[in-house]
Structures are given as structure tokens and as C-alpha cells.
Amino acid sequence: MGISGIDSLTYGVADVAASRRFFEDWGLTLLDGAPDSAPVLQLADGGTICLRAASDAALPALPPGYGQAPPSTMREVIWGVHHASDLQAIEAELGRDRLVTRDADGTLHTRDDLGYAIGFRVTRRKALTHEAVRDNGPGRIGRIDARAEAALPYRVRQQRMVHLVYWVPRQSQQMLQFYVERLGFHVTESVKNVGHFLRCGASGDHHNLFLQTRGDNFGFQHVAFELRNIDDVMFCGQHMEQQGWKSHLGPGRHVLGSNVYWYFWCPAGGIVEAGCDLDFITDHWPAKELEVVPAGGSSWFVRAEDAGLRPGHGDWPQFKA
């Protein structure tokens, strides 16, 4: 199907101004021209976060699994594809058993098998290029007669959105089949009673979608943003805490995906993850099935209170069916 990654997310939120401030602090750039009531923020690759009041009738309706409507949450993801022919293939495939509409700009809108609003468009994101970090180590000199870039603080710029996580009810094998069989996602690895890590058919990211199971939890859980390196992650988290935003978990490094992480509670709904150094996966990687997450999920973490915790821990009452 040629799906390459996340192009855009639309949130319906209780407090548009606070949500906008959060994403600006997080390292996105406010786009000119959008109204204050519906701001659009952009990442370095051109991906976008669109914010609207939760009361906006133009927002996609919440999926039926929410027992209680959350005041703020992510309402629709737009996946990017490489070619117009990919869009036609998706439209034909999903049009067999559900309503698929097409915007004037060509974007498709529909629902997945749990009713989450999803869309597709020819990607507007650009490929990113960055030079390797010039660092020094034993027997390896990458930087001579110069300070490191990270020797002085700087504001980070979020580079791209890399994955989404939904809470998926335990019995919902149907969601896995939908993304794999209908949309061409690949399973990278699955963990018994925990969930499935999937990557888009045209992506080498360890995961672009994680379908996570915990009891009856239902709904959007988090979106992960990719930064250039670990210094970016540290500067991002440090700045967020200085601005008064609340850390959820981190900093640390995941076992599955290998990526460095730092999560924050987000006023637009759910949590957000800043990270870097995610595993790059090819077709030579066999889908793995694990009984448990090794090492409790993190190879290292900084805060003692994070021991044994996973992303999404804590009370999510609004998301229970």
C-alpha cells in the first residue's frame, strides 16, 4: 500500500491555547495563517499537529469504544503514502466494507476496525538529512578544537512523528488483522498479553503503530516524536519541566525498539514521547514473538521512581470502556 508514516494528527481539546503552548514548548513551529481557534503546528519534516476545540462539529466523532468522552484527545491520524496510486488502492480496499470519503485536496477519510478515525494522503513530508554527531571517545576523535553543539543549551526542533499507540481491548485480534491484511503493515514484534508493534509497509522504523492491551483500556495513548540525538531528548525534557509541564516517564531507553525516550502528559490528550535512536528494520528481520518484555522494558532509566514502570502507567479512567 506504500504507507510511509504519520503525516498529520488532529486533536479535539478542552483548552486550545494551552495545547498550542505545550506543542510550541515541545519544539513545533506555529504555522502562519491558521486561526487562533484552530492552530496548526509543524515539525521539521513538514508533518503537522492540528488543534481544534473539542466542541468543533467538524471534528471526526469519537469511536464508539469510549465509555466516557475524554475532554481532550487525538481525533484523527492522516497516514502518508508515496503515490496517488497507493491512495486509489486503499480507497478500493477499504471501500469494500466501509464508508471512505475523499476531500477536495485528495485526502481519504475512513475508520479502522475499532472506529478510530484514520485518513490517507500523498505525503507532504520531506526526507530529512542530518550529519552524524561529531563526538569523541577512546580511539575515536570526531571533533577537534571545537566545543560540542550540546555544550551550550539550545531549543530543540521536533523532526518527525514516528509512531502512534492505541489502547486495544484484549480480544481485539481484529485490529491487528485490519492493519496487516488490509493496509499492508508488518509485525515487527509481539509481546504476549501486551501488544503488537507494527511498521508501515514502506517504513524501516521499528514501529509506526503499537496496539497495546491493558485490561479494558481503550483510546488514544500516545504519539512519539523523533529528535536527532540524545542531547535533543534531554534538552527537550529539561525545557518542558522548566516550563511546568509534567513528566510521565523518563528519560530512559527502551528494550523494544532500542530508542531513548522521555514522555510527558499532554494537555491535548494522552501522552507524548520524545525519542531518538530507534531500530531500523528491514525484511531480513523476522517477526518476533516474546513472552515478556525483557529487562522490565528499559535498559536504563534515570529516576529511581521509574523502576518497573511502562509508558501509559497510571490511571486512565476516561479511556476505560
Q: Stretches 79-87, 119-127, 272-280, 292-300: which one binds Fe ion (CB under 5 A)?
A: 272-280
Q: Stretches 12-20, 123-131, 177-185, 271-279: which one binds Fe ion (CB under 5 A)?
A: 271-279
- Judged by beta carbon, residue 156 or residue 224, the one nearer Fe ion is 224
Task: Tell me the number of residues near Fe ion by CB under 5 A.
Answer: 2
Nearest distance, CB of residue 223 and Fe ion, angstroms: 8
Q: Could you say whether residue 189 binds Fe ion (CB under 5 A)? A: no
User: How many alpha carbons lie under 13 Å from residue 39 in its C-beta half-sphere?
Assistant: 20
Q: Stretches 35-43, 229-237, 245-253, 269-277: which one binds Fe ion (CB under 5 A)?
A: 269-277
- Judged by beta carbon, residue 11 or residue 166, the one nearer Fe ion is 166
Is the separation of the CB atoms in 265 and 271 below 8 Å?
yes
Q: Stretches 22-30, 38-46, 220-228, 295-303: which one binds Fe ion (CB under 5 A)?
A: 220-228
> In degrees to the nearest 10, what's the CA dihedral of 135, 237, 124, 167?
120
State the CB neighbour count (10 A cutoff) for residue 299.
13
Angle between helix axes 16-26 and 230-242 (nearest 10 degrees) is 140
**Separation CA 93–CA 108 (nearest Å):** 12
Q: Stretches 118-126, 193-201, 218-226, 284-292: which one binds Fe ion (CB under 5 A)?
A: 218-226
Is the separation of the CB atoms in 202 and 292 below 8 Å?
no
Q: Which residue has the cell 531480513?
A: 284
**DSSP 8-state code for residue 270:** S
**What's the one-letter identity of residue 28?**
L
Q: Could you say whether residue 224 binds Fe ion (CB under 5 A)? A: yes
Q: Could you say whether residue 276 binds Fe ion (CB under 5 A)? A: no
Nearest distance, CB of residue 47 and Fe ion, angstroms: 16
- Judged by beta carbon, residue 43 or residue 224, the one nearer Fe ion is 224
**What's the one-letter identity of residue 38?**
A
Q: Could you say whether residue 273 binds Fe ion (CB under 5 A)? A: yes
Nearest distance, CB of residue 153 and Fe ion, angstroms: 25
Please give the helix or strand (H or E) that residue 94 lies within, else none.
helix 84-94
Q: Stretches 68-76, 86-94, 190-198, 270-278: which one binds Fe ion (CB under 5 A)?
A: 270-278
Nearest distance, CB of residue 165 and Fe ion, angstroms: 6
Nearest distance, CB of residue 94 and Fe ion, angstroms: 26
**Separation CA 45–CA 133 (nearest Å):** 19
Q: Could you say whether residue 260 binds Fe ion (CB under 5 A)? A: no
| Length of the chain counted residue by residue | 321
Selection from 211, 13, 203 nearest residue 113 by Cα: 211
Q: Which residues pair with 118 in a beta bridge?
A: 77, 110
Nearest distance, CB of residue 247 and Fe ion, angstroms: 15
**Separation CA 274–CA 259 (nearest Å):** 10
- Judged by beta carbon, residue 232 or residue 273, the one nearer Fe ion is 273
Residues that bind Fe ion in the complex, under the rule CB under 5 A: 224, 273
